[in-house]
């Protein structure tokens, strides 16, 4: 489904209040553009952006990164897809151009973290600088990712608790899905941590100490999430190994039963096969009680085998 094309601009004061257009007390201007690539490119052409910056913000495919450019930086981030019916690992890109007096964000699809920022703006509690604005967005993106990763841990806990009694095929599908989601999330969260680290260490005057502190907090929380995703992958591997052990043990038990049954009937099969050959001289061939004598002999052999198998703990 193609999202609705729209854009908005907010002027923010140094105290975090939303201002009217062209207010001289504005500390910076926040412009957000959302829509398809053609719409985004059209709006960006009106914002006096460098061609390199405009191309980065309107690119069809992106990965998290931070690229300093002159007195500003292009920052590409990714957020969890919490749209109903969507896969969380289908992460939504947010492209940002940030400099001293303005920040331009571009999204192809709706992103919940921006709704949180808009709520702050409507309550006159907006970030007080462009650096703090980007740090706040990064923290909100982490906030949205945290519950998804916690859900993955809970799914794994449930699988581990019911592993011995669960259906192996269904459990394997659940493990594969969990591992796939963890790998997909880590694919974007890990470089996103590096992008924010790059921005934090860059010597931009418009990144205040408060903003650097918030960026460090976002980096630390992203690092923790990446470590949890690594742990989830390792736990998935451990569970898969345990499932293989369960299957191997079950197959070994089945093979043992078949082996014991075959060994139990081997002497009796040999006896009946030997007496069934079509040559002269077969014992009891002319006896009226030969059949019952042979049956009695097989019962005796069976009892002796049973006692012998019990002694060697094969039953």
pLDDT over 50 at 1, yes or no = no
pLDDT given at position 230: 94
pLDDT given at position 2: 42
What's the start-to-end Cα distance of the chain, in Å?
A: 63
pLDDT given at position 312: 79
Q: Which two tokens stand for residue 206?
A: 């418009």
What b/e sequence results for 192-209 when a residue is b if at least 16 CB atoms lie within 10 Å of its CB, and e otherwise?
A: bbebbbebbeeebebbbe
Higher pLDDT, 89 or 64: 64
The domains found in the chain, sorted by start residue, are: 6-246 (3.30.460.20), 253-311 (1.20.58.340)
**167 pLDDT tier (thresholds 50, 70, 90):** confident
Q: Which two tokens stand for residue 279?
A: 């040559």
Give me the DSSP letters along the chain: -PPPPEEEEEEEETTS-EE-TT-TTEEEEEEEEES-HHHHHHHHTTTT--HHHHHHHT-SS---EEEEETTEEEEEEEE---STTS-TTSPEEEEEEE-SSEEEEEESS--HHHHHHHHHHHTT---SSHHHHHHHHHHHHHHHHHHHHHHHHHHHHHHHHTTTTS-HHHHHHHHHHHHHHHHHHHHHHHHHHHHHHHHHHS--TTS-HHHHHHHHHHHHHHHHHHHHHHHHHHHHHHHHHHHHHHHHHHHHHHHHHHHHHHHHHHHHHHHHHHHTSSSTT-TTTT-TTHHHHHHHHHHHHHHHHHHHHHHTT--
**315 pLDDT tier (thresholds 50, 70, 90):** low
What pTM did the predictor assign? 0.78
CA distance 151 to 59: 32
Percent of the chain with pLDDT over 70: 98
**273 pLDDT tier (thresholds 50, 70, 90):** confident
Q: Tokens 């719409």: give the residue.
A: 39
pLDDT given at position 112: 86
* Digit-coded pLDDT (tens) for 186-244: 999 999 999 999 999 988 988 999 999 999 999 999 999 999 999 999 999 988 888 88
25 neighbors 98 (Cβ within 8 angstroms): no
* Digit-coded pLDDT (tens) for 6-54: 899 999 998 889 988 788 888 999 999 998 888 998 999 999 899 999 9
Mean pLDDT of the chain: 88
* Digit-coded pLDDT (tens) for 102-136: 999 999 888 888 989 999 999 999 999 999 999 99
């Amino acid at each position: 489904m193609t999202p609705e094309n729209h854009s908005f601009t907010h002027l923010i004061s140094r105290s975090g209040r939303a201002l009217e257009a062209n207010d001289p007390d504005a500390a910076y201007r926040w412009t957000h553009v959302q829509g398809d690539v053609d719409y985004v490119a059209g709006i960006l052409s009106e914002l006096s952006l460098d061609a390199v910056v405009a191309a980065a913000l309107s690119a069809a495919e992106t990965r998290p990164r931070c690229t300093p450019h002159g007195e500003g930086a292009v920052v590409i981030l990714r957020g969890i897809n919490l749209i109903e019916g969507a896969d969380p690992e289908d992460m939504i890109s947010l492209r940002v151009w940030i400099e001293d007096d303005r920040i331009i964000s571009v999204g192809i699809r709706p992103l919940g973290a921006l709704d949180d920022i808009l709520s702050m703006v409507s309550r006159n509690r907006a970030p007080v600088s462009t650096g703090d604005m980007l740090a706040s967005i990064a923290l909100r993106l982490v906030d949205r990712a945290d519950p998804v990763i916690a859900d993955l841990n809970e799914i794994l806990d449930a699988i581990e608790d019911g592993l011995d009694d669960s259906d192996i095929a269904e459990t394997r599908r659940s493990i594969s899905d969990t591992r796939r989601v963890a790998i997909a999330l880590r694919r974007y969260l890990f470089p996103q941590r590096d992008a924010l680290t790059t921005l934090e260490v860059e010597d931009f005057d418009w990144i205040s100490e408060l903003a650097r502190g918030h960026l460090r907090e976002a980096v630390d929380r992203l690092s923790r999430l990446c470590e949890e995703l690594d742990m989830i992958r390792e736990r998935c591997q451990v569970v898969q190994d345990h499932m293989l052990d369960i299957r191997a043990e079950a197959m070994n038990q089945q093979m043992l039963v078949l082996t014991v049954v075959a060994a139990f009937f081997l002497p009796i099969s040999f006896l009946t096969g030997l007496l069934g050959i079509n040559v002269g001289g077969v014992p009891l061939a002319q006896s009226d009680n030969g059949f019952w004598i042979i049956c009695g002999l097989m019962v005796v052999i069976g009892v002796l085998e049973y006692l012998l198998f019990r002694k060697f703990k094969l039953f």
